[in-house]
């Protein structure tokens, strides 16, 4: 009902009377008034005049009813310890493909290698639960698809020149716009689910916690609707996974700033330095070491070293 009322108010070009809303939705005016008050309590700027209700500002809300047909799949929290923790429980309870947990803020947001992800108001923090029906050795396709999807959504919606950094960060210039964390469960030799936890710096100020980070607001000089980023990403991911995009590595290479760069790779067991020369068909980063040997890195954290990027 809230979704329907918000939809009517957004479409209206003049104030909308309670009577008109009740007729359109087949509910009493008392019910309409109750839902309007509920929306106001959640932050909607809805004024009431002699001729009816007006939505003064659509706001930057992430409530389920703001996502149209995705409403049943969206689980919104004003505050959560970590969307990944909630998503794991949902995934284990057999929730549907594309179920998404969104939080206004996180108290224990997590990054790769057990780092803390600063999750203040204004950022976009979510975990999407995917059931891609892939063998375990092809799960890398999901991660690269997510990176490409998010980079293109940012580019197309904002005009910002976002690039992808191996394995799955989004950068603008040398500064980090997002982070991505994945967890997977398997059954036999197939993926049961992949949970992608994503934090995007949209209207927050990440540089306080991470000097080498930047937000969309910083880059545009004004706030940008987080809902547009999330909707665009979910639409892109769902379409790409449905079509089983086989060229995702090639697409990723079109938008990467990693290949040709001097890098330092940190894994759970080792640290190596060299020049990133390629990403192979399985998503591994190929690093040329100082002695000319090529090292294949399947998983790790990548840090750019000083030196200019070169074509490979």
> Tell me, what CATH number does 279's domain have?
2.30.30.100
| Chain centre distance of CA 82 | 14
Q: Are 290 and 153 in contact (CB under 8 A)?
A: no
- 131 and 226 in a single domain? The answer is yes
Quick one: what percent of the chain has pLDDT higher than 70?
95
pLDDT of residue 245: 73
pLDDT of residue 29: 93
The CB-based long-range contact list for 291-298 (8 Å cut-off, 24+ gap) reads: 297/265, 297/267, 297/272
pLDDT of residue 112: 56
pLDDT of 116 > 60? The answer is no
Q: Which of 14-23, 113-122, 132-141 is the least confident region?
A: 113-122
Determine if residue 38 is labeled as part of a ligand binding site.
no
Tell me how many domains the chain contains: 3
Cα 154 to Cα 150: distance, rounded to the nearest angstrom: 6
Candidates 307, 310, 258; CA nearest to 287 is: 258
Alpha helices in 76-136 (DSSP H): 83-92
Determine if residue 253 is labeled as part of a ligand binding site.
no
- 28 and 108 in a single domain? The answer is no
**pLDDT tier at 307 (50, 70, 90 boundaries)?**
low
- 216 and 299 in a single domain? The answer is no
Phi, psi dihedrals of residue 231, rounded to the nearest 5°: -60, -45
Determine if residue 192 is labeled as part of a ligand binding site.
no
* For range 5-16, the mean pLDDT: 93
Domain enclosing residue 267, as ranges: 262-304
- 174 and 223 in a single domain? The answer is yes
**pLDDT tier at 300 (50, 70, 90 boundaries)?**
confident
Structure-block tokens of residue 311: 């074509």
Identify whether 271 is part of a domain: yes
pLDDT of 310 > 80? The answer is no
Rounded to two decimals, the pTM is 0.89
Determine if residue 88 is labeled as part of a ligand binding site.
no
- 221 and 299 in a single domain? The answer is no
- 105 and 209 in a single domain? The answer is yes
- 209 and 88 in a single domain? The answer is yes
Determine if residue 176 is labeled as part of a ligand binding site.
yes
Burial of 17 (0-12, 13-18, 19+ CB in 10 A): middle
What mean pLDDT, rounded, does the chain reach?
Answer: 91
Which residue, chain included where needed, has tokens 């009377």? 17
């Amino acid at each position: 009902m809230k979704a329907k009322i918000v939809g009517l108010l957004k479409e209206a070009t003049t104030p909308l009377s309670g009577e008109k809303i009740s007729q359109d939705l087949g509910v009493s005016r008392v019910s309409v008034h109750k839902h309007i008050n509920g929306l106001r309590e959640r932050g909607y700027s809805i004024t009431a005049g002699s001729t009816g209700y007006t939505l003064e500002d659509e706001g930057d809300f992430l409530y389920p009813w703001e996502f149209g047909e995705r409403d049943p799949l969206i689980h919104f929290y004003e505050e959560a310890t970590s969307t990944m923790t909630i998503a794991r429980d949902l995934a284990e309870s057999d929730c549907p493909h594309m179920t998404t947990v969104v939080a206004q803020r996180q108290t224990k947001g997590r990054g790769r290698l057990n780092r803390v992800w600063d999750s203040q108001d204004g950022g976009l923090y979510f975990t999407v639960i995917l059931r891609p029906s892939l063998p375990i050795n092809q799960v890398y396709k999901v991660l690269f698809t997510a990176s490409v999807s998010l980079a293109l959504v940012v580019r197309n919606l904002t005009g910002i020149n976002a690039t992808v950094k191996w394995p799955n960060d989004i950068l603008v210039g040398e500064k980090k716009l997002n982070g991505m964390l994945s967890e997977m469960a398997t059954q036999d030799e197939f993926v049961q689910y992949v949970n992608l936890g994503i934090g995007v710096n949209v209207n927050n100020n990440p540089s306080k916690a991470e000097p080498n980070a930047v937000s969309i607001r910083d880059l545009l000089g004004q706030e940008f609707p987080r809902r547009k980023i999330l909707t665009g990403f979910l639409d892109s991911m769902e379409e790409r996974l449905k079509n089983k995009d086989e060229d995702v590595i090639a697409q990723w290479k079109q938008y990467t700033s990693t290949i040709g760069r001097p890098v330092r790779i940190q894994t759970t067991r080792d640290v190596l330095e060299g020049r990133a020369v390629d990403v192979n068909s399985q998503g591994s980063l190929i690093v040329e070491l100082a002695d000319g040997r090529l090292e294949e890195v399947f998983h790790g954290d990548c840090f750019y070293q000083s030196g200019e990027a070169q074509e490979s």
